[in-house]
Structure 1
Amino acid sequence: MSKLAEYRQLEKHLAEQLQALEALKGDDGLKKEIEFETKLRKLLEHYGFSLKHIVNILEPQTAARRPATAPAVSTRKPRELKVYKNPTTGEVVKTKGGNHKVLKAWKAEHGAEVVEGWMKK
């Protein structure tokens, strides 16, 4: 697209947006909302409150629903306990994850496929 075409397109969009803005300026509903917001902000400033305070006053159950220190609820199923037995030493390792120190050492020494074969079913 040429610079001139881009300029004319942007000019057209700007004219449309200015027209929409002028239509909104004459809207009585918008004027009421602006007046309400202005008065509300002055009132909040006068009494030293914030919008969060007002929400907590008007709807205290909303604040109770989202506590700041609530633990995340997990929908994940718990991991299964896996039991590995080293056939040469007879040592048994019980773990729910793969980050066990002894299990990692076995996998490094014997290979992951071999060690997975040691898992009891």
Structure 2
Amino acid sequence: MSMLSRYFQLEQEIKTIRKKMQDLEESPQFQKEKEFLDKLRELMNEYDKSPGEIIAALAPDSSPEPSSSKTRRKRKLKVYKNPETGEIVETRGGNQKTLKAWKEQYGSETVDSWLIEEK
């Protein structure tokens, strides 16, 4: 696709999105919600309150607490490169098929030395 045709396509998408936004802004439900939000912001400014304080006041049990043991952190991505074949393997764990085969063939220490990047 040429740059010019891509430009015209994006221009058409912009027009479509603007039309959808205009229709949304004209809907009574949107008007009502926007009015509520505007009044709520005015009230928050008047009493010098933040959104977090409002949430804590309205729903004290729903305060966000850091989950300590419920979620595991994501493992680091390790990138190995076989110097003989040039093949690259990206993995987050040691249970990757190709990596296992390499470790059987060349030994664990040798394959571990092929680590080129850890993200």
Pick the TM interval, shorter chain: 0.5 to 0.7
Q: Greater CA radius of gyration, 1 or 2?
A: 1
Residue aligning to 1:9: 9
Q: Which runs of 5+ in 1 are unaligned?
A: 77-121
Q: Distance in 2 between matches of 1:4 and 1:75?
A: 47
Offset, 1:75: 8.7
Q: State the TM-score, normalizing by the size of structure 2.
A: 0.53
Residue aligning to 1:83: none
Q: State the TM-score, normalizing by the size of structure 1.
A: 0.52
RMSD: 2.4
Q: Distance in 2 between matches of 1:74 and 1:22?
A: 43
Q: Distance in 1 between matches of 2:31 and 2:49?
A: 24
Residue aligning to 1:30: 30
- Report how many residues are paired: 72
Q: Which runs of 5+ in 2 are unaligned?
A: 73-119
Q: Which has the higher contact order (CA 8 A, sep 6+)?
A: 2
Q: Which runs of 4+ in 1 moved over 6 A?
A: none
Question: Secondary structure at 1:48's aligned position in 2?
Answer: coil
Residue aligning to 2:21: 21
Q: Which amino acid aligns with 2:7?
A: Y
Q: Residues 88-121 of structure 1: CA distance to partner in whole angstroms, max 9, x if unpaired?
A: xxxxxxxxxxxxxxxxxxxxxxxxxxxxxxxxxx
Q: Distance in 1 between matches of 2:58 and 2:48?
A: 16
